[in-house]
Structure 1
Amino acid sequence: MVLKAELHCHIEGAASPELVLSQARKYGVDTSDFLRGGAYHWHDFTSFLSAYDAAASLFRSEEDYALLAEDYLTGLAGEDAIYSEIFTSPDHAERAGLSRMAYTNALGEGIERARTKTGIEGRIIVTGVRHFGASAVEDAARFAAACGHPLVTGFGMAGDERFGNVRDYEKAFEIAREAGLGLTVHAGEFGGWESVEAALNHIRPTRIGHGVRAIENPDLVHRLVEENVVLEVCPVSNIVLNVYPDYASHPLPDLLEAGCRVTLNSDDPPHFHTSLGHEYHVARAHFGLDDAILHSLTRTAIEAAFVDDTTRRRLRDTLDAKTVAQ
């Protein structure tokens, strides 16, 4: 058994089909357009976004969001995960009619419930949506910087990385940086290696969400190694969304061979018929990574986590104690 840690998961995209069906019954909503046979159904990126939004729309109250976070983190703990960071979206909160603070408090409550039940540690990364424009991302950054919630420790940007110019979002990330938040940004998925380079030049994050397309530029890979930037890699997502046609084409082994710091993550797990445990299985089965390497990837995630030093030491000690016991 390998202990696990996750840095890249969108909480609305992590809602299990079972939980969504329960929510649909609660609100009297027909889910047949996007949920059939106990699984999400979509056929391209546009229909995936539609299914994502439809499922997210069934979380409308503070208790709904607390249940969502509790359900996801409890499930992670059942797969031997000791740490989780979730991407949250203030924009979804507003669509649900909740204030950003009520939404964040509710997710924090769910994280605390899961920790009480299982011991798993969790944190929140507030995200802006890139294709909503620079002002919307700055608003998200201001909220993240000012909200004061003890579990909000990071800021990121998701959405279509092909939209706009990264320099337009510099102000948002400066707001978050000045507030002492950890920084991550989606790049190097659909935007090519150029989006990774732009993120390094203009945002200077410590982590990149995805980042796999950096492999197309050897100089950029060298820069990632030199600058100690951590990649939040989501292999199954990359295959399902056709970033790569198959696992044999996926650059994870090459990134590791080049010396990149890599972590394993599930992105929007039920939409891609995956889980964090399955990502580790894929890494073993398709990339030939043994338990020692998988352990090192978990350790990288803990070292790169947006947590205080005391929590990091506790997580590191838990990981090392399990390794010694084996």
Structure 2
Amino acid sequence: MTGEGVGRGERPREVSELPKAHLHLHFTGSMRHATLLELAERDDIALPDSLVEDWPPVLSAADEKGWFRFQRLYDVARSVLRTPDDVRRLVLEAAEDDVRDGGRWLEIQVDPSGYAARFGGITAFTDLVLDCVRDASERTGLGMAVVVAANRTRHPLDARTLARLAAQYAGRGVVGFGLSNDERRGRTEDFAGAFQIAERAGLVLVPHGGELRGPDHVRTCLDSLGAQRLGHGVRSAEDPELLDRIVARGIALEVCPVSNVSLGVYSDLTSVPLPQLLAAGATVALGADDPLLFGSRLAGQYATMRAAHDLDDATLARLAEMSFEASQAPSDVAEAARRDIAAWLS
């Protein structure tokens, strides 16, 4: 993967200028750190030191205690969103940050039930988010859509409710349905009914799998949920037969390298098996997951993988192309991006 795209003695091309689609970004996790601090100060919300002077926090999800600490920080951050204008600001700033990083298309993932109590219910909050997405897209030029995600720590019937909600908005800003939170919790098979509802509505099925659990859980996501894209999926590299199946079915992997290392899935960035996935022919879309907690946004994923694996610019360009291939971006957005990716490389 080295030796192409940059001549000897030339400086590598700037990754923030490479057009990209961003497919793995959680709602509250997209918040700017400065915005978190400002909103918390406004409402006199006490933040833990790990979200203030010790930011970004030192995290691990090797056990349930570590994941609980990560989830607690996420919940604390979510608590600063008190008004519709706060939500509007978060979405606009997420769009601005992606544009700054070369983003052309963003599918932001949200679980409306996590915000419903403060914003008038799941339908009212979804309406608000979609309005904010339309506004941010118009103001920044970034193409945007929403993935509604259920929380696997809640009852599967709640997931069905969210799937029906997402189905109502299919073709009106919602493009996918996911399943998030600690994949070691609950039984994935129990969420099959929700994914069937989403599939009938024509939504792309994007559950988390293959991060905190290994290849066996990836198989469950494929067989029980009909996954068409995998949130993370990086541990498919541990099973060549499974990886061949993923490649043959064209299932994209939303790989979030900095997140993987921060949560202890891999010891360091050089251990993230991106080269193995690419060598097998997998479709990979790099994502930032939760920049608020991991301290790295979209362009940072490309930059860290370039440095860790000595990726040449042609490989980075191919990663960017694959991010659009895996996306639900309109054809004109994807085609314009492909032309600009070629121009970046040439």
- Among candidates 282, 290, 296, match of residue 268 of structure 1: 290
Asked if 1:324 is matched to 2:346, the reply is no
Where 1:244 maps in the other structure, the secondary structure is coil
Counterpart residue number, 2:28:
12
Compute the displacement of 1:149 (Å): 6.9
Compute the TM-score of the two structures, normalised by the length of structure 2.
0.88
Call closer, same or farther: CA 1:149–1:90 in 2, change over 3 Å.
Answer: farther
Which amino acid is the alignment partner of residue 100 of structure 2?
A: G
Which amino acid is the alignment partner of residue 21 of structure 1?
A: L
Would you say the 8 A contact 1:111–1:122 is kept in 2? yes
Counterpart residue number, 1:35:
51
Distance 2:113 2:241 in 1: 36
- Among candidates 221, 226, 229, match of residue 207 of structure 1: 229
Which amino acid is the alignment partner of residue 332 of structure 2?
A: R
Residue by residue over 1:189-217, the C-alpha shift from the partner in whole angstroms, topping out at 9 and shown as x without a partner, is: 11111110111111112100101111111
Counterpart residue number, 1:226:
248
Distance 2:41 2:75 in 1: 17
Compute the displacement of 1:148 (Å): 5.5
Distance 1:31 1:157 in 2: 28
Would you say the 8 A contact 2:119–2:125 is kept in 1? no
Counterpart residue number, 1:186:
208
> Once structures 1 and 2 are overlaid, which stretch shifts more, 37-46 or 189-198?
37-46
Counterpart residue number, 2:41:
25
Structure 1 unpaired stretches of 5+: none
Where 1:66 maps in the other structure, the secondary structure is helix
Where 2:24 maps in the other structure, the secondary structure is coil
RMSD of aligned alpha carbons: 1.8
Distance 1:149 1:16 in 2: 29
Counterpart residue number, 1:133:
155
Would you say the 8 A contact 1:89–1:127 is kept in 2? yes
Compute the displacement of 1:34 (Å): 4.1
Counterpart residue number, 2:305:
283
- Among candidates 166, 176, 182, match of residue 154 of structure 1: 176
Compute the displacement of 1:295 (Å): 1.7
> Once structures 1 and 2 are overlaid, which stretch shifts more, 242-251 or 167-176?
242-251
Distance 2:332 2:318 in 1: 15
Which amino acid is the alignment partner of residue 342 of structure 2?
A: T
Compute the displacement of 1:258 (Å): 0.8
Distance 1:42 1:288 in 2: 26
Compute the displacement of 1:142 (Å): 1.2
> Once structures 1 and 2 are overlaid, which stretch shifts more, 93-102 or 119-128?
93-102
Counterpart residue number, 1:312:
331
Distance 1:322 1:297 in 2: 10
Distance 1:263 1:318 in 2: 14
Which amino acid is the alignment partner of residue 13 of structure 1?
A: G
Asked if 1:72 is matched to 2:94, the reply is yes
> Once structures 1 and 2 are overlaid, which stretch shifts more, 13-22 or 95-104?
95-104
> Once structures 1 and 2 are overlaid, which stretch shifts more, 281-290 or 260-269?
281-290
Compute the TM-score of the two structures, normalised by the length of structure 1.
0.94
Residue by residue over 1:284-320, the C-alpha shift from the partner in whole angstroms, topping out at 9 and shown as x without a partner, is: 111222222222222212122124xxx2233322331
Map 1:156-175 to 2 at 5 A: 156-175=178-197
Distance 1:47 1:145 in 2: 33
Which amino acid is the alignment partner of residue 14 of structure 1?
A: S
Map 1:66-145 to 2 at 5 A: 66-145=88-167
Structure 2 unpaired stretches of 5+: 1-16, 60-65
Which amino acid is the alignment partner of residue 77 of structure 1?
A: V
Distance 2:250 2:335 in 1: 19
Aligned identity (percent) is 32
Structure ranking higher on relative contact order (CA contacts 8 Å, 6+ apart): 2
Alignment length, in residue pairs?
323
> Once structures 1 and 2 are overlaid, which stretch shifts more, 186-195 or 26-35?
26-35
Would you say the 8 A contact 1:87–1:127 is kept in 2? yes
Compute the displacement of 1:52 (Å): 0.6
Compute the displacement of 1:39 (Å): 2.6
Distance 2:117 2:299 in 1: 32
Distance 2:224 2:29 in 1: 28
